[in-house]
Amino acid sequence: MSNKISPWAVVRESVALSWRRKWAFLGLLLVSLVLLPTVTVLPALARSWYGPAVALSVVLHVLVTLFLMTASNHLAVTMQRGAGTVLPQPFWPAMGRVFVRGLIIVAVMFGVMLAVGVPLAAVAYAVLPHDPADPAGFNPSLLALFMVAGVVVYAFVVGLILRLMVMIPGAAVGHVVGVREALALTRGHAWRMFWSMLTVVLPVMILTGLFEVAVIGSAMKDGGGGIGAGTAVSFLVLLVLDLFSWIVLLVMNAVWYEKLRLRAAAPGVGSGAAFRFSAEPGTAPGPARGAGVGPYADLPEDR
């Protein structure tokens, strides 16, 4: 029997946790959704101070995003441990750890894209004809080959990001997870993480597409009349589902982290130096009695 984690089990638990503390997660998400557009218009309002306003807007964007990621991941992880607290204590060091891990993920992502994408683009530029209108030089098979290669590179980058994202929940609860540890922790689970994400995203995308088709068809049938009550209700229902799907996606990353952490702590699974996490001095409290086994025995349980 495989000891891999089922993506469907992760989806079910993510939905259950999201629903249990739906108002807390919704509040965090709405605060972020309100603040982000607000800070976006700062440069337009301060025309005489456009440069400083842009810099302030970027800083506020980062802070709001960090607050959302830190609080939501801390709440989701601690819920799985029986506590369910929103803000870590102390808060600012936790947000700093999330910031550092976010920078690492962005750096790795751009590094991989440059290392793979630039040579691929250079080869495509050298091999493919520069004038698509020239029928003598156009090779559909070669173009299709490069398109497939581009899709493969994109899928690889997405899978890598999903695997590295487990560093964020760890940082939120005081566990320092490096790139090597994250890759070791998620080995064999990239596609499973992708399918769990697609299980949440795809139904909402399909419903959104059907709603748009229905609205366009209704408008053409009515000759461009106003929006009916049924359309308005359908839009509100779709909006609620969309917001809840965002909450589930936020929680899902933390569920993957905790399940993978516990899996690695099982005998015969998490052996080796790749699973020995380190904690930054002064950022994590001492472990609770009986709070873990194996290489994770030194990880604290948040209460």
Domain boundaries, the chain: 7-277
Q: Which class for 76: exposed (0-12), middle (13-18), buried (19 or more C-beta within 10 A)?
A: buried
* Residues 6+ away with beta carbon under 8 Å from 55: none
Q: Which class for 46: exposed (0-12), middle (13-18), buried (19 or more C-beta within 10 A)?
A: middle
**Amino acid 69: pLDDT:** 93
Of the two residues 145 and 50, the one the predictor is more confident about is 145
Report the alpha-carbon distance of residue 58 to residue 40 in Å, rounded.
8
**pTM across the whole model:** 0.76
**Amino acid 145: pLDDT:** 81
Checking if the pLDDT of 23 tops 60, the result is yes
Q: At 295, is the pLDDT very low, low, confident or very high (cuts 50, 70, 90)? A: very low
pLDDT 10s digits, 91-141: 999 999 999 999 999 998 888 888 887 887 787 777 766 565 555 555 677
Q: Which amino acid is at 110?
A: F
State the chain's mean pLDDT as an integer. 79
Report the alpha-carbon distance of residue 28 to residue 30 in Å, rounded.
6
**Amino acid 267: pLDDT:** 67
- Answer yes or no: are the C-beta atoms of 270 and 276 closer than 8 Å: no
Distances, alpha carbon 10 to alpha carbons 53, 63, 148, 236, in Å: 42, 29, 30, 27
